[in-house]
Amino acid sequence: MHVAQHLVNHCLSGPLVHNRTIILVTHHISLCLPVASYLVELSHGKVLRKGSIQDFEDLGQLAEIVEAEDEVAINPPLIVSPENEADVVQDHAKVQEEDRRIKGKLIEVEARAEGRVSWFTYVTYIRAAGIISWILTILLMLLIRAINIGNQVAYGKLLKC
């Protein structure tokens, strides 16, 4: 959240954006209200409301819009990808309790896996880089090692002479 505040305060309200039109899509309406001049509320691809921030304030609808933002559900289903065990949350109950405590805020609890790295993760990295690049890397390492050993043998023979 502090990164978002920093971006709004230093990027979206600084001299870089002076006299420019910026279209920002966000769920953090209250965070962007100080620098916004126009608001369009969308839902399922349709425009619900649109107008200047001042118009919404005059009509008394701005508080309603901000409250609607706070009612956004924050308990999305936990998606576990089999490609990376770091995405697995070890204590799902803790995460749900944390979500209940911060209900109404668009903050996700950071989680990470602990323990050993599985072979599946290594295989995933190898596949991501491509088998050929790994084979070439290993062959290059073996070639460098062979050259080092050859130099040591040749240097040893020179010392005996």
Instruction: Report d(CA 107, CA 95) in Å as an integer.
Output: 12
Instruction: Report d(CA 37, CA 19) in Å as an integer.
Output: 12
How confident is residue 83, by pLDDT bands cut at 50, 70 and 90? Answer: very low
Of the given ranges (5-9, 52-56, 97-101, 139-143), which has the lowest mean pLDDT? 97-101
CB 90 within 8 A of CB 78: no
- Give the pair of three-digit tokens for residue 3: 């990164």
Tokens 């490609």 found at = 83
Instruction: Report d(CA 71, CA 76) in Å as an integer.
Output: 14
* Position 108, amino acid: E
> What is the model's pLDDT at position 7?
84
The closest alpha carbon to 121, from 159, 82, 68, belongs to 82
Of the given ranges (111-115, 118-122, 123-127, 139-143), which has the lowest mean pLDDT? 111-115
Q: What is the pLDDT of residues 55-77, one digit of tens each?
A: 988 888 888 888 877 665 344 44
Where does residue 122 rank: exposed (0-12), middle (13-18), buried (19+ CB within 10 A)? exposed
Instruction: Report d(CA 25, CA 20) in Å as an integer.
Output: 16
